[in-house]
């Protein structure tokens, strides 16, 4: 079961949501522990949190009446215990239950502002335990000279606190891992470690097919692996079971009008983390007989695509894009992606490969153009550097038409480790991932029919153009629409050739009456048509950026011509 906030990408369109069944969640009535306002404040907080989830477009939020009826049918009363959460969640068939309380309502500043503290918990229906949550503080907006009632300020602060809480929940990545194997019914080996968010003392629910089968507590952690002791064998823990961390919701106290938030300590959290990274884990790995590589290491992307293309001015480029792995998604601080190109080699003063470009850690694409660029990149003196150097690279070369390239990518990230009550910050560089080949292609130059030709016989058209350096396959498109939609476009067979760039090429004579106009009911009419030529290198993988019909070619600027108006056939 995926956690709240990770089930669908941000910005999912509502039209798409209507086609896909959204995960169901239920927001239970909040408690009001603030001592201000009674049940109306709790109701406002409940409605505000439900509204924020609804506005995200990623969940189906159940109506209050449906939830209340189910509570009545099950003879349950709020607040619920763990068993109550399990019964209600299964009866409602929800992904999660949302619960919480208003911890504090105070007034601060001049002009007066309301301050509201909310606790929000996301309850997993497989275990009845929190798997996500947040404590958020919201303030009403400043209103100089405001003389209205306090409730208006409080309602506004509640809405702002709800917004912050739900945003925090959706941005949190819940640590998850797969059980690789068990040993003597006492310990398990997991395929994730520090980079996956696991920490010593962390308790995790073990789930199989959506139901809890046991519990573990993490005892030893390396960068990419972890060992956990079984604290509840339950229905039997097996390899391939999924482990999901129990979320420790911060506690809130109000003393003398001041709000204090404290994060609960995990059992065993006082142990030194660096000791957990020592030789004990290595011995455990040997005992399990599982190679370190089985965990997936610190590989940041699932796939790296390099696709040639041409922009709106028909200037060539290569688009590099990637999909991140769980490791990259769970890295707490992603600094920058570094992109390396096969022709740009050499190392800097720290022995690091020089990148040809960089992008922010929250971006998943890079455009390599023909224009040289200047940028700063993080250069690490060693693995796990406490203080990286930022070097400025001037005049990194752009791509050249007709040349083929491959790319690599790596992630610079920051890792925070608690050591004896203090926090150690280390900067690291992930594994590099390689793309397939991409060939930079200048769009071909069209020859005939020349631009804006008139009275072209549609039954006998020969298309010609000049080949482009680096391409060995071409395809012609002819359409009644300059955007070349699939249903109004003729596409020729692929034309293969090893001819040098700048040489003339042409199709055989094509009868557009039978190939296009007949199926559109335009035979015999004067019709404006558009044509273009696509080029590609068959050695590229996956090939150029696809067009709206899925064809992978670098397309030329289109030409237009008009067919003859012919008399009807006798």
pLDDT tens-digit readout, 132-165: 888 888 888 888 878 788 889 999 999 999 998 8
Question: What is the pLDDT at residue 258?
Answer: 62
**Cα separation, 473 vs 440, whole angstroms:** 14
Report the distance separating Cα 271 and Cα 273, nearest Å.
6
Give the pairing type, strands 258-262 and 438-439. Answer: unpaired
Does the structure show a pLDDT above 50 at 289?
A: no
Residue 382 token pair: 């060693």
- Which of 99, 37, 422, 108 lies closest to 259, judged by CA? 108
Among 8-17, 27-36, 81-90, 226-235, name the one with the lowest average pLDDT. Answer: 8-17
Residue range 367-377: mean pLDDT, rounded = 91
Report pLDDT digits (tens) over 106-131: 888 777 888 899 999 999 888 888 88
pLDDT higher than 90, residue 418: no
Which class is domain 445-563?
Answer: mainly beta
**314 contact partners, CB below 8 Å, separation of at least 6:** 443, 556, 557
Fold of the domain spanning 176-295: Thrombin, subunit H (2.40.10)
Given a contact cutoff of 8 angstroms between Cβ atoms, the answer to whether 566 and 524 are in contact is yes
Q: Read off the pLDDT of residues 66-87 as tens digits, 9 standing for 90 and up.
A: 999 999 999 999 999 888 998 9
pLDDT grade, residue 275 (50/70/90)?
very low
| Rounded mean pLDDT, 85-90 | 90
> What's the pTM?
0.50
**Tokens, residue 20:** 């896909």
pLDDT of the residue at 22: 81
**Is the pLDDT reported for residue 10 higher than 50?**
no
Q: What pLDDT is recorded for position 421?
A: 62
Q: Is the pLDDT of residue 274 over 70?
A: no
Question: Please, are residues 188 and 237 in contact by the beta-carbon 8 Å criterion?
Answer: yes
pLDDT at 144: 80
Domain definitions of the chain by residue range? 14-171, 176-295, 301-439, 445-563
Encoded tokens for 555: 């397309």
- Range 14-171 classified under CATH 3.40.50.2030: no
Across all residues in the chain, what is the average pLDDT?
84
pLDDT value of position 450: 95
Which secondary-structure segment (H or E) carries 128?
none
How far apart CA 196 and CA 217 sit, in angstroms, is 15
Scanning the structure block, which residue is given the tokens 């280390």?
426
459: Cβ–Cβ under 8 A, 6 or more apart, which residues?
Answer: 511, 512, 513
pLDDT at 488 > cutoff 90: yes
- The Cα 126–Cα 213 span in angstroms is 9
């Amino acid at each position: 079961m995926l956690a709240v906030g990770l089930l669908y990408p941000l910005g999912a369109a509502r039209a798409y949501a209507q086609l896909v069944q959204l995960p169901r969640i239920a927001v239970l009535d909040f408690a009001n522990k603030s001592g201000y306002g009674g049940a109306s404040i709790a109701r406002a907080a409940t409605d505000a949190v439900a509204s924020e989830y609804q506005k995200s477009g990623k969940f189906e939020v159940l109506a209050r009446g449906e939830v209340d009826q189910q509570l009545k049918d099950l003879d349950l009363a709020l607040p619920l215990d763990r068993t109550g959460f399990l019964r209600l969640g299964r009866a409602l068939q929800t992904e999660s239950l949302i619960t919480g309380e208003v911890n504090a309502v105070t007034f601060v500043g001049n002009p007066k502002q309301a301050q509201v503290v909310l606790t929000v918990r996301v309850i997993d229906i497989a275990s009845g335990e929190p798997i996500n949550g947040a404590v958020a503080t919201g303030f009403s907006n400043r209103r100089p000279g405001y003389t209205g009632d306090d409730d208006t300020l409080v309602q506004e602060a509640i809405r702002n606190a709800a917004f912050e809480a739900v945003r925090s929940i959706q941005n949190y990545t819940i640590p998850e891992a797969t059980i690789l194997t068990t040993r003597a019914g006492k310990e398990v080996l997991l395929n994730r470690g520090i980079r996956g968010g696991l920490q010593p003392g962390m308790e995790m629910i073990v789930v199989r097919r959506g139901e809890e089968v046991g519990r573990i507590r993490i005892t030893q952690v390396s960068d990419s692996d972890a060992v956990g002791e079984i604290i509840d064998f339950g229905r039997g823990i097996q390899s391939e079971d999924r482990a999901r961390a129990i979320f420790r919701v911060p506690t809130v106290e109000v003393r003398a009008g001041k709000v204090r938030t404290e994060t609960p300590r995990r059992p065993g959290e006082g142990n030194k983390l660096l000791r957990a990274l020592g030789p004990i884990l290595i011995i455990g790995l040997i005992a399990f007989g599982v190679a370190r590589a089985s965990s997936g290491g610190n590989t940041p992307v699932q796939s790296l695509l390099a696709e040639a293309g041409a922009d709106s001015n028909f200037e060539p480029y290569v688009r590099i894009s990637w999909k991140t792995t769980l490791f990259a998604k769970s890295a707490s601080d992603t600094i920058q992606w570094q992109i390396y190109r096969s022709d740009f080699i050499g190392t800097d003063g720290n022995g690091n490969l020089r990148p040809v470009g960089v992008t922010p850690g929250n971006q998943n694409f890079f455009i390599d153009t023909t224009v040289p660029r200047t940028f700063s990149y993080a250069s690490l003196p060693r693995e796990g550097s406490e203080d990286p150097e930022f070097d400025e690279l001037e005049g990194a070369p752009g791509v050249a038409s007709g040349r083929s390239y491959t790319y690599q990518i790596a992630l610079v990230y920051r890792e925070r480790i608690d050591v004896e009550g203090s926090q150690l910050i280390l900067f690291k560089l992930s594994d590099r991932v390689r793309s397939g080949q991409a060939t930079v292609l200048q769009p071909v130059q069209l020859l005939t029919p020349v631009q804006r030709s008139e009275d072209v016989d549609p039954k006998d058209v020969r298309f010609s153009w000049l080949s482009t350096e680096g391409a060995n396959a071409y395809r012609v498109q002819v359409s009644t629409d300059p955007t070349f939609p699939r249903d109004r476009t003729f596409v020729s067979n692929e034309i293969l050739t090893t001819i040098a760039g700048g040489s003339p090429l042409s199709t055989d004579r094509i009868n557009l009456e039978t190939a296009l106009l007949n199926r559109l009911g335009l035979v015999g009419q004067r019709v404006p048509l558009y044509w273009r030529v696509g080029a590609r290198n068959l050695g590229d993988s996956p090939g150029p950026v696809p067009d709206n019909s899925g064809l992978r070619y670098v397309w030329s600027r289109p030409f237009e011509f008009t067919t003859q108006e012919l008399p009807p056939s006798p």
